[in-house]
Amino acid sequence: MQISPSTLRNFLKGIPVDREIFKLICEGLGLKWNDVADPGADEDAAEAEPHQDEILVYPEGSLPKTSRLYVQRPGEERALVELCQPGGLVRIYAPRRMGKTSLLSRLLGQAEGLNAQSAYLDLTQAGEAFGDLASFLKWFCDSVALEVKHDVDLDVYEQIVERYGSSHGCKIYFKQYLLPEVEQTVFLGLDRVDELIKYPELCREFLGLLRLFREDSRHSSVFAKLRLILVYSKDIEVYVPLPIDRSPFSVGFLVELPEFTAPQVLELAELYRLQWSDTEVQSLMSLVGGHPFLVRLALYHIACQDTTLPELLETAPSRVGYYGEYLQVLSQKPELLTAMQKVVAGDSTDLNEITQHDLYSLGLVKFEGNAVIPSCELYRQYYQNLQ
């Protein structure tokens, strides 16, 4: 039976849904339907306006899962529907600073609200474990175990790996030791998965293993309760080609985060307690488009009375403006800087696919048909002035 996003939304908000569908959603989450908390819980606190202290917090990094400055993104509800299915897998893909980790935090927060277990891993934290597959998978098992409060028996783990090899041993450990000790459904969020690109062989093996987790969920009740969320800013298969049957990117549900729309920018301005109209929204978007971070940074400085919208727009495409730090993202990457200047000059036809995707992952360009163009006027003006 298919569950619509609106039905799932009602379930999450405690609005009554059909009894059989209610049971089905609970079953998919590994919950006993008659143990689910009172559906009449008050949501007023979560929907209240942001506190002034939150407005004054500099918008760096992801938003906390309970942030009242969060703007709901397209695909969010459908992602939750996917994660309610046995072995559900969601992929969140977008350039840097587009809100991927904020959405991930939101989804993991929903898991906790449904009495499911959540686990978060940032793959950039693996450090020296990237040295070889065995070290990385040991780090992976240990990190997931720590998140779900399971004590890894390293002797048992090493015996399994010695007998079956690193990849298969990791899978066996998940199936026979780690997951069985967790009663609830497990939502496992893997952030910055594109860090694996630096290690092609490890990348292929690990992503192939994640695909096997997904495939095994069809006939294993243990893996059925594992739900995966993969977050990345680079199209990994452009850099490290994967066989279609060994790729986690050919299954599950993809959330490709778009820019904010004008109504969403206006909504965020209101959350920052700014009395804006469509005129101010269009003025800001004419410079930065709907890029979530660039929009949020502008609203933050205006809400803090550091500047006005006209002043911000005037100085923005320069190093002394409020975007100055972020405009210098290519200062230590001369090859990409040259490539970006070609894009601005309309001469990007000779850029190879890897270079194009490097610029895209940084949020500097977007694809329009076969053309590569600056993602917003801010970048066009800044890199044009550098020439």
What is the number of domains present in the chain?
Answer: 4
Domain finish residue from 256, 287, 314: 256
Same domain flag for 109 and 163: yes
Quick one: pLDDT at residue 55?
84
Same domain flag for 159 and 221: yes
Same domain flag for 228 and 174: yes
pLDDT tens-digit map of 359-373: 999 999 999 988 999
Same domain flag for 339 and 373: yes
3-class DSSP string for the chain? CCCCHHHHHHHHHCCCCCHHHHHHHHHHCCCCHHHCCCCCCCCHHHHCCCCHHHHCCCCCCCCCCCCCCCCCCCCHHHHHHHHCCCCCEEEEECCCCCCHHHHHHHHHHHHHHCCCEEEEEEHHHHHHHHHCHHHHHHHHHHHHHHHCCCCCCHHHHHHHHHHHCHHHHHHHHHHHHHHHHCCCCEEEEEECHHHHHHCHHHHHHHHHHHHHHHHHCCCCHHHHCEEEEEEECCCHHHHCCCCHHHCHHHCCEEEECCCCCHHHHHHHHHHCCCCCCHHHHHHHHHHHCCCHHHHHHHHHHHHCCCCCHHHHHHHCCCCCCCCHHHHCCCCCCHHHHHHHHHHHCCCCCCCCHHHHHHHHHCCCEEEECCEEEECCHHHHHHHHHCC
Percent of the chain with pLDDT over 70: 87
pTM of the model: 0.86
Same domain flag for 215 and 338: no
Quick one: pLDDT at residue 73?
93
Domain finish residue from 323, 355, 374: 323
Domain finish residue from 323, 342, 366: 323
Same domain flag for 242 and 147: yes
Percent of the chain with pLDDT over 90: 75
Could you tell me the pLDDT band of residue 9, with boundaries at 50, 70 and 90?
low
Quick one: pLDDT at residue 40?
43
Domain range for 336 is 328-385
Residue 218 located in a structural domain: yes
**Least reliable range by pLDDT among 87-91, 209-213, 316-320:** 316-320
Quick one: pLDDT at residue 186?
95
Does residue 26 carry a pLDDT above 80?
A: no
Does residue 311 carry a pLDDT above 70?
A: yes
Same domain flag for 79 and 173: yes
Residue 66 located in a structural domain: no
Quick one: pLDDT at residue 11?
66
Same domain flag for 252 and 123: yes
Same domain flag for 286 and 242: no
Same domain flag for 132 and 266: no
Same domain flag for 162 and 280: no
Quick one: pLDDT at residue 264?
97
pLDDT tens-digit map of 43-81: 444 445 666 778 888 998 899 888 999 999 999 999 999
Q: What does the mean pLDDT of the chain come to?
A: 89
